Amino acid sequence: MSTYLICSAYKVEQLPKTNLPNIVLTGRSNVGKSTLINKLIGRKQLARTSNKPGKTISINFYNYKDMIIFVDLPGYGFAHRSKSTVLTWKNLVETFFNKNDNLELFLLLIDVRIGVKDKDLELFYYLEQFNKDIIPILTKTDKVNKNYVNKQIDQTSAIINLSPNKIKHFSHKDPKSMVEIWNTINKALQRD
């Protein structure tokens, strides 16, 4: 069974109709969304990554073995975009959320070095309306020490009022962290 890019939607008209559970990755620009998708699906560069923030400018849909659709949303908090581009994205992303019957799970990525920002919180509250699990994931944990990761887990847990064990962490250098995220995904999928 294969894994492939279904489409990159730049405009509302390009949003695909899907009838598989959608797992949506979201978070600030450069936080590591596309990198995590590549790790989860086991493909090195199917989702394009870059050290230049704002790489993903479309909503990208990946069919994973006809079981799941991973959705890579454009990152927010990246200033170097024109106002009209930002408005087009806002419309695209809102349409994606509002016209979608297959939303299943949200992965909200947060750079462990930056922590939760206002925009992340705004998004967290916005996602709550869909009544699906929202899993915060602290990313790039290889850049800091373990104490720091634990400290950020506690802080994130306090800010978004979620028990610390619901907060995951990820580093592309730590295969165990990816397995843990897969376990969390599988549990969430089995619940329905």
List contacts with ligand GTP (CB under 6 A). Answer: 29-35, 49-51, 53-56, 75, 139-140, 142-143, 171-172
| Both tokens assigned to 167 | 């907060």
> What, of Mg ion, ligand GTP, none, does residue 142 touch, CB below 5 to 8 Å by kind?
ligand GTP
- Under the binding rule (CB under 5 A), the answer on residue 55 touching Mg ion is yes
* Residue whose pair of structure tokens reads 């087009």 in the numeric block: 88
* Residue pair 171/138 in contact by the 8 Å Cβ criterion: no
- Under the binding rule (CB under 5 A), the answer on residue 56 touching Mg ion is yes
Backbone angles phi, psi at 104, to 5 degrees: -125, -35
Residue number with CB closer to ligand GTP (35 or 156): 35
> What, of Mg ion, ligand GTP, none, does residue 39 touch, CB below 5 to 8 Å by kind?
none
Residues paired with residue 149 on neighbouring β-strands, in sequence order = none
Query: CB 33 → ligand GTP: shortest distance, Å?
Result: 4
Q: Which of 22, 34, 60, 171 binds Mg ion (CB under 5 A)?
A: 34
Query: CB 26 → Mg ion: shortest distance, Å?
Result: 11
DSSP 8-class letter at 17: P
- Under the binding rule (CB under 5 A), the answer on residue 39 touching Mg ion is no
- Residue type for position 157: S
Residue number with CB closer to ligand GTP (77 or 161): 77
Q: At what angle do helices 146-160 and 118-128 cross, to 10 degrees?
A: 50
> What, of Mg ion, ligand GTP, none, does residue 51 touch, CB below 5 to 8 Å by kind?
ligand GTP
The full DSSP string for 126-158 is HHHTT-SEEEEEEE-GGGS-HHHHHHHHHHHHH
> What, of Mg ion, ligand GTP, none, does residue 31 touch, CB below 5 to 8 Å by kind?
ligand GTP
Backbone angles phi, psi at 170, to 5 degrees: -150, 140
The full DSSP string for 47-67 is S---SSS----SEEEEEETTT
Residues that bind Mg ion (CB under 5 A): 33-34, 55-56
